[in-house]
Structure 1
Amino acid sequence: MASLDRILDIEALRRLESRAEEAGVDLMARAACAAADWITSRYPRPARLLIAAGVGNNGGDALMAALLLHERGYRPDILVPATPASPATQRALTALRAAGVEPVHGLGAAQYDLIVDGLFGIGLSRPPDAPWSELIAALNASAAPILALDVPSGLDAWTGNAGGACIEARYTLTFLCHKPGLFGASGADLAGEIELAALDCPPDWLEAGRGEVNRPDASPLRRRRDSHKGSNGSIGIVGGACGMLGAALLAGRAALACGAGKVWIAALDPALAVDTRAPELMLLPRAHLPAADILAVGPGLGTSPQASALLGEALADSRPLVLDADALNLVAADHALADALSRRSGPSILTPHPAEAARLLACPSSAVQADRIAAATTLAERFACIVVLKGAGSLIAAPDGRYRINPTGGPALAAAGQGDVLCGIAAALLAQGMDAWSAACLSVFVHGLAGDDFQREQGGAIGLTASETAQRARHQLNRLVGQTLFDKLVGLTARTPQSP
């Protein structure tokens, strides 16, 4: 994983800042330059700019950027609601005044092309109180787009929650490393378009950390020309109780679309002899564990005694396993099943949504959403498995504490059956030889790309069905695999000496 994708916690970021200070590197000056460059490249003179600065270092970033913009020929208005507390911010304000730039008093009737939010940074640990909350509301009410520096003011940089007033940014320019709160929970709506300015810090200054932005590698899926269906693995999907057969079919169709060589459906409801939409699916006449390489249990499974017995058999099996939907609810309700899951010898992937995660953790859904990283990593450690906590900024967590936050996907995926499709994609990637961590990361990424593809094509997020998502995921998966092959070929060409 590239250093630019690392996520550092607040303590690691403070250590990085201290190291920069010891090395004589002025990170505030670099952040200000990055912000000024961002604005200059998108808003040429004579754009009207309002720079809103708080009392701390985030305000210093904003005021130093305002000084640079002034030197470049802009005439930015600066809004400084309170006396700066940070020495660097005080110096920036003094320099602006010396250059003839005085703070304005409130928004007034001025019409701005861009507002820059430098009120609070990553250290804010409580909701902004008055008058800051009132100022945030006024900035949001302006017709101008807002560029947030580092994080939108009022947003928790790690949980993505906003307990009170929060800037609604169209753009966020974040510094040094990505912040998970920009991608998940409320941050997914409040951060807008996210761009990282690493501030030219040497990669070895960034500690490894536990978190990363999810940018998975699809190259393991490249196929040899000398392949056959057995080369791409087989999957047994267990689910489809009466009235819920469609869930198992969606998972099976997605598994086929994303490359599995063979797929069996072991449905609790035996009503369907063939899937006319996907006759390649093999529907078993009775529900039992198929003789497949990979098992996926849960889509439409229900919570009957038969469902519980089938899940128990799957947990006692050593084959790679994907658990979704009612399989997770059964584990949450039965200590014996939970113990069997945590003791499995084979790899497991769990794909809960927040309510299912809450049942597994015996806590309210609100507690899961309050700290999604903690919820996902706790589940992964407790059950010794890979966990995909679905939602805005889906999280992939491993038992050793690693996690990734997914940057793809959005509201187009908020529809019935999408979890079944994700389950089928993850099983398909396992069947093609990927390990559980890699399969979970790539399946979430591709599933999200399918939703993004629909939203871009349709101009909105309404109406994407799970059936269509499977086909779009196939397209995105092939595109990623093709891109990795192209990159490899370009690299080989670049290293090949030219003939004399």
Structure 2
Amino acid sequence: MRACLSEQMRCADEVSIKEFSISGIVLMENAALGIVKEIEKEIEGGRLPKEGEASLICGTGNNGGDGFAAARHLASKGWRAVVFICGDEKKITGDALANLNIIKKLGIPILSMEDSNIEALDIMFGRSHMIIDAMLGTGFKGRLKGNYETIVDKINKQRKYVLSIDSPTGLNCDTGFAEGSCIKANKTVALGLPKIGLVINDGPYYCGELAVCGLSIPEQAYDRVGISRYLTDRDYVSGCIKPRKAHGYKGTYGRILIAAGSKGMEGAGLLAAKAALRSGAGIVELAVPLCSFDAVRGVIPVVITRGLTDDGEGCLASKSSGEIMLALRNASVFLMGPGLRTSSQVKEAVFDAAISCNKPAIFDADALNVISEEPAILLQRPESTIITPHPAEMARLMGISTGEVQGNRLEAAESFAKKYRVIVVLKGYRTIIASPWGETRINPTGNPGMGTAGSGDVLGGIIASFLAQGMSPMEAASCGAYIHGAAGDRAAEKYGQWGMVASDIIKYIPHTIMDIGGK
């Protein structure tokens, strides 16, 4: 599913109207029908009564027009709708005005700010079963002031079901941040496409459940606008996970070489290896410094283990890169970084491997920490490259602060991907997957309990496995992040977010793949 900026959605609306002759009034009617459909789902789920009173707080633009149209449909289904116009009614024009005139003729009660009725809102809200926020929509930037701030604060103090149309009032739909007061909705119905700010940063907190109403806008309109960001969904992942071949064997599903570990950090490579196997890889070989060899040998019986020359201090020696190249002759995918630690010799080994490895590769953890000293080394890679940094590693790679990365995760991931021609998997809440060619995906799965040691190693193993089984690098990174997060969500259901550990995520990888369509 695509996701867009507010201006891109405005342009797509305009293209639909001007080039495809879909009138604005039709789009507004489709929006109202979609909103009521989502309300009916809440009624069926027992979260709202079959009939009741709804307070619709409407602005003077098209977002308010969607609210006027929704009020009409709610009234036709037995609800008592009461509309409050937040702003100067004289400013309402076009399709919004047409819908306002209809509800006036239907006798739906309408209050306005001009009548000094703000205090009447408390009475309205007290009687209501549902409050519908149709004030400002997706074009809002900055901080709410005056009556808007007052109304939003009143709504948030109510213990009532709140549905926002297109965006919670007060949220910046491009950044996902709210500078001041913002509606805290139970559900947000995004119109056309979900806006970027609804799915990143604070957006999901304010949106509640996110539903999408397509409005019948043709895909050609989105193509014309150039929307190339996506919210990875179940259908996308299901389409990438192909059925296993009846005549397949272990070689059919790829051979992964993992170069990982150091003295005392052997667990990182083991987690990645087990995750790769549980994600369907045919063969996994784990290469560790000789000083760690006995600690990993036989821990996972089906993993091939290999010892690499160490530096005498518990880490890889620089000349181990030659040994890695020999091992890579039989591999289809290379994963390097978990638990390596950093040293001058590790840096040499990583740089040599990065330049010499002619197989698709994933670099993670300490491999990224040494690459951050000379990120241009990535431009010398002869094959496709995926990097999986967490925000602090991304900051080191870019030479900026972690706060700057977190302040604009999309820009950080996208700019680095284009500059260094790699696929960036920027881990964290709503993991960002950015490609060198401009396609970006936002991952919706996962939970705070996954912020635990080894979780990133598990992700690296899943991505390597999907890559080895024939997915494209972008598919492997996107599906890997989705399955990783979804398995983490299942683990949280079992163990809770406080108690889950990385190995718990691995337990649920096979079940998650099966549920999505993998047999």
More helix by share: 2
Aligned residues of 2:389 and 2:427 also touching (Cα < 8 A): yes
The C-alpha deviation readout for 1:407-465, integer Å capped at 9, x for no partner, is 2222232222111100011111112222211111111111111122234456x533222
Aligned counterpart in structure 1 of residue 85 of structure 2, from 73, 80, 88: 80
* Native 8 Å contact 1:245 1:269 kept in 2: no
Q: Conserved in 1, the CA contact under 8 Å of 2:423 and 2:436? A: yes
- 2:300 pairs, out of 269, 273, 278, with 278
Shift of 1:86: 3.4
**Separation (CA, whole Å) in 2 of partners of 1:148 and 1:364:** 35
Name whichever of 89-98 and 413-422 sits farther off. Answer: 89-98
For 1:96, the equivalent position in structure 2 comes to 103
Matched, 1:212 2:218: no
Contact kept in structure 2, 1:380 and 1:397, CA below 8 Å: yes
| 1:151–1:191 contact (8 Å) kept in structure 2 | yes
Residue 350 of structure 2 corresponds to residue 320 of structure 1: no
Q: Distance in 2 between matches of 1:249 and 1:130?
A: 57
Q: Which residue of 1 aligns with 2:32?
A: 32
Q: Does the CA contact (< 8 Å) of 1:393 and 1:407 recur in 2?
A: yes
Contact 2:491 2:504 in 1 (8 A): no
Name the TM-score, length of structure 2 as normaliser: 0.85
Partner of 1:66: 71
User: What letter corresponds to residue 96 of structure 1 in structure 2?
Assistant: I
The 2-side partners of 1:405 and 1:248 are apart by 27
Q: Does residue 181 of the first structure (1) align with residue 176 of the second (2)? A: no
Amino acid at match of 1:398: S
Choose the corresponding residue for 2:255, options 228, 234, 237.
234
1:298 partner letter: G
Shift in Å, 1:101: 0.5
Corresponding residue number in structure 1 for 2:448: 411
CA change 1:454–1:13 in 2 (3 A) is same
- The one-letter code of the counterpart of 1:284 is R
Deviations 1:189-224 (A, max 9, x none): 222211111112233333252112212345554322
**Displacement of 1:10:** 3.4
- Percent identical among aligned pairs is 32
Question: Take 2:168 and 2:459, find their aligned partners in 1: how far apart are those partners?
Answer: 31
The number of equivalent residue pairs is 475
Partner of 2:206: 190
TM-score, scaled relative to structure 1: 0.88
Bigger CA drift: 99-108 or 347-356?
A: 99-108
SS of residue paired to 1:133: helix
Contact 2:5 2:173 in 1 (8 A): no
User: Matched residues in 2 for 1:314 and 1:474: separation?
Assistant: 31
Quote the Cα distance in structure 1 between the aligned partners of 2:128 and 2:514.
44
Distance 2:404 2:461 in 1: 28
Q: Which residue of 1 aligns with 2:170?
A: 154
- Tell me if 1:355 matches 2:392: yes
Alignment partner, residue 283 of structure 2 = 262
- The whole-number CA distance in structure 2 between the counterparts of 1:413 and 1:145 is 30
Alpha-carbon separation, structure 2, partners of 1:321 and 1:473: 22
8 Å Cα contact 1:60-1:89 kept in structure 2 = yes
Residues 1:434 and 1:117: Cα distance change in structure 2 (over 3 Å): same
Distance 1:192 1:277, change over 3 A: farther
CA distance, structure 2, for counterparts of residue 375 and residue 445 of structure 1: 20
Find the aligned partners of 2:68 and 2:517 in 1 and give their Cα distance: 45
Does 2:49 match 1:50? Answer: no
Q: Structure 1's 370 and 57: CA in aligned 2 closer, same or farther, altered over 3 A?
A: farther
Aligned partner of 2:245 among 224, 247, 254: 224
Consecutive unaligned residues of structure 2, counting only runs of 5 or more, are: 112-116, 309-315
CA contact (8 A) 2:347 2:370 kept: yes
CA contact (8 A) 1:139 1:167 kept: yes
1:121 aligns with 2:137: yes
Task: Give, as a single letter, the amino acid of the residue that structure 1 aligns with 2:230.
Answer: E
> Tell me, what secondary structure is at the counterpart of 2:257?
strand
Match for residue 249 of structure 1? 270
Equivalent AA in structure 1 for residue 498 of structure 2: I
2:302 aligned partner, one-letter code: E
Cα contact 1:255–1:427 (8 A) shared by 2: yes
2:240–2:471 CA contact under 8 A, matched in 1: no
| Aligned AA (1:61) | D
Report the CA distance shift for 1:226/1:92 in structure 2 as closer, same or farther (over 3 A): closer
- Check whether the contact 1:234–1:262 (CA below 8 A) recurs between aligned residues: yes
Contact 1:379-1:387 at 8 Å conserved across structures: yes
Aligned to 1:8: 4
Q: Structure 1 unaligned segments of length 5 or more: list them.
A: 484-500
Change (3 A) 1:479 1:71: closer
- Partner residue, 2:428: 391
Q: Residues 208-253 of structure 1: CA distance to partner in whole angstroms, max 9, x if unpaired?
A: 5211221234555432232322222222222212332211211111
Q: Measure the CA separation in 2 of the matches of 1:405 and 1:189.
A: 16
Select the residue among 13, 23, 32 that pairs with 1:17: 13
Q: Deviations over 1:73-116 (max 9, x none)?
A: 32123233322433144554454344140326222461532221
Residues in 2 aligned to 1:461 and 1:144: alpha-carbon distance in whole angstroms: 28
In the aligned structure 2, how far is the partner of 1:406 from the partner of 1:284? 34
After superposition, the Cα gap between the structure-2 partners of 1:114 and 1:455, relative to the gap in structure 1 and judged at 3 Å, is farther
Judged with a 3 Å threshold, the aligned counterparts in structure 2 of structure 1 residues 175 and 363 are, in CA distance, closer, same or farther, namely same
What secondary structure sits across from 1:446 in the alignment?
A: helix
User: Relative to 1, partners in 2 of residues 1:435 and 1:19: Cα closer, same or farther, differing over 3 Å?
Assistant: closer
- Equivalent-residue separation in structure 2 for 1:390 and 1:154 (angstroms): 27
Distance 1:45 1:236, change over 3 A: closer
Q: Does 1:468 find its partner at 2:504? A: yes
State the Cα RMSD in Å: 2.3
- Residues 190 and 11 of structure 1: CA distance in aligned 2, closer, same or farther (over 3 Å): closer
